[in-house]
Each structure stands twice: as C-alpha cells, then as structure tokens.
Amino acid sequence: MQDRFLTPHKYLSPEEVAQFRRTLAVEARNALARGILAPPRDEAILETILGAGLRVSEACNLCLGDLFLGYGEQEIIIRDSKRGKSRSVRIGAELKALLKRFLAWKRQHGEPMTPDAPIFLSERKGPYTTRGIQKRFKVYLKKAGISKTCGIHALRHSFALLLYRSSGHNLRAVQQQLGHSSPSTTAIYAHVCDDELRQAVDHLFDATKSEKKPRKVWHLDTAEGEVA
C-alpha cells in the first residue's frame, strides 16, 4: 500500500483557521443586520464541519434529531456514514452555542423543526448538496484572503490536526472523532504535527556549535604556543 502524506495545501494552518472563522462570523453578522439569509446558514454548516471534523456528506445528512444540545449534552450522532457505520461525535461548547443560536434562527424563519428535518437547508429550501457546500467554502476561503486551492475536506483535516495538538498528541481520540476504522489512517496527522521531532531536527547541530574552540597555551620561555 502506498504511504499517505498530508501536504500543507490539504489543510489550513491555525492562523488560516482563525482568519477563516473570523470571516464567517463577520459575514453572518452583517447579513443578519441586512436580512440576508445565506451567510448565517453558511457559517453554521462550515463551522460544524470544522468544529466536529465531519465529512461534507455527513454534514449534508444531519437531521435535527441527531443533535444533543441540552443541559450537559454536547454531542452529534452521525448515522450511516462511510461504510454504513454510525458514531457519536463530541463537540465543544463554542460549537454547541452556535448551533443553538442557529436553531433559534431556523424557528424564526419558519423552517421545519421535526426530528427528521434536515438541519441545513439551501436557499431553495432543500437539503444542501456536497457540491453546493464546496462552492460556499471556496467563496469564504477567498473572502478570508487564503490563496490555497484546497477542497472542503481541508476543514476535516484541519480539525484533526488541531485536536491532535490540543489532546496532547492522542491519536486514539482523533481516530474516534473522525470515525476511522484503522489507526494507520489517523497516523497521517502525527507526521504533520510532530513538533518535537521538527524542533529536534532544527536544533540537531546546536551541541556541536556550542563546543569551545581550541585555545593556545603560551609558554613563558618561548613566543610559540601549543594547541590545548
């Protein structure tokens, strides 16, 4: 099997993630003030993909009954995902708060709120398509001033890299969140995030540079010296 590597154009750096999220928030806030509907939806679905590490198809298929946002609950159930598997995904408090605001926004705009209703609807009131979300991702990537040509799967990669760092390099936690069946699939993130190895290589020759230079020992009875 060919080795898999995650090259920089396939994910966003922490700085790019921050800029991307700021752009989403600003566009959504400005749209709410003007009564424009698309940006708040875009922010909700793109933040969910990024904040939960979802595949774009998983986000498209989410229904209201898959969200558990009550007191003490911070969970999304992914049903019939890749290879027909289901899994539970833990989400952070920030994403939980955003989703609760988005649900209130959906009620305000008369969108269906039954458990089997799609969470994310397009402007035509139908479920989002993977292609549609990909196009919206590209729009906000450009607005954020990020020149990478990555696809929307970069958000899932970015989530995995951030989680790997914040969990103290816990590959098992990343594997569980992403729903990988094999740890070898998740291991690609360790290659990218091995900061200790990167720093060690950068400072490989520091010890040799700190060695003292040979010094001359001068004898009183001669002008010549010998190297000590």
Q: What is the number of alpha carbons within 13 Å of residue 92 lying toward its C-beta?
A: 13
Return the beta strands (E) in the chain as ranges. Answer: 67-68, 75-78, 87-90, 216-218, 225-227
In the set 79, 138, 148, 153, the catalytic residue is: 153
Active-site entry in 21, 106, 136, 156: 156
| 189 flagged as catalytic | yes
Catalytic residue among 82, 101, 138, 169: 82
Q: Which of 37, 21, 3 is nearest to 122 (CA)?
A: 37
Which of these is catalytic: 11, 140, 164, 189? 189
Whole-angstrom CA distances from 184 to 11, 52, 114, 180 are 19, 21, 39, 9
Residue 153 known to be catalytic: yes
180 is an active site residue: yes
- Give yes or no: 11 in active site: no
The question of whether 82 is a catalytic residue gets the answer yes
Q: Supply 136's token pair.
A: 């919206």
Active-site residue flag, 9: no
Of these residues, 10, 148, 169, 180, which one is catalytic? Answer: 180
CB 40 within 8 A of CB 105: yes
The catalytically annotated residue of 21, 55, 96, 106 is: 55
Catalytic residues: 55, 82, 153, 156, 180, 189
